[in-house]
Amino acid sequence: MSAASWRSEASAPLQMSSPPADPPRRQRSEGQVRIAASAFGAATRVSDLAEAGALRARVPRGGAGLEAVIVNTAGGVCCGDRFAIAARAEAGAHLTVSTPAAEKVYRSDGPLAEISVRLAAAEGARLEWLPQETILFDRARLRRRYEVDLSPSAHFLAFEALMLGRLAHGDVMGEGHLEDHWRVRRGGALVFADAFRLSGPVAQLLDRPAVAAGNRALASLLVIAPDAERRLEEARARLAGTPCEAGASAWNGILSVRWLAPDIGTLRRAATSFLMAFRNAPLPRVWAT
């Protein structure tokens, strides 16, 4: 796979009598990474890896299964950037995908940044999608799409956290655009579809009681596995006493948990405690760095 290319042009100097120039064409980042993990006896090893542009995959040694860390060498996401991630756990493999730090989505002067994620787990595989939080700056514009393909016997867990604005720096996401689209298929049949969209005066929308009641951090956990529904009461018990607004529900082999919190610190502490207990395993080591 060849590296993605990009181009930047400088606009010509304006003359007093000239009409307004078109907005300058910005330098954009593009990146692709594809990783597959296969079982070799009791161990899981990389069986396919391809990288292009600003995305890289690193595989630390040790731990249960295989841990892949997706690194964005561009240092964040800007308007018009395009990134694509594909991860697959082959039959019997255990693959965990994470990121080394929070992903920052910067202010846009118009174009949407787009992130496409494709995840797949074959028979008896375990695939966990555990990136650290995404932080959206004021006027950030982001669209993300997730396509997940699972075998009926696969175990899938996905956690996503969002911080809208940088409250620790006094920055509020007053305006912007965010879309998250999830499509999950199990045995070829669509079993989960979810679409989330905030656009325009984001801060005002989040203040509405029916939207976020003033909270600025949110997260969701999705578990699709043969035993997912049976773990509902366990999940609700582990949410008891959480400092966040949180709830869990289960149906048709799916377990869903959602959190709302005033800030990312509160959310991260609550979600980290829940995830470690629910998974009965430590989080990826990069979460502690």
Cα atoms found within 13 Å of the Cα of residue 101, Cβ hemisphere only: 9
pLDDT digits over 95-137, tens only?
Answer: 999 999 999 999 998 889 999 999 999 999 999 999 999 999 9
Are the C-beta atoms of 184 and 190 separated by less than 8 Å? Answer: yes
Are the C-beta atoms of 103 and 76 separated by less than 8 Å? Answer: yes
CA–CA gap between residue 268 and residue 55 (Å, rounded)? 25
pLDDT digits over 50-82, tens only?
Answer: 999 999 999 987 666 899 999 999 999 998 999
- Give the rounded distance of the alpha carbon of 216 from its chain centre: 17
Provide the whole-model pTM. 0.89
Amino acid at the residue 76: G
Amino acid at the residue 288: A
Over the chain, what is the mean pLDDT?
A: 90
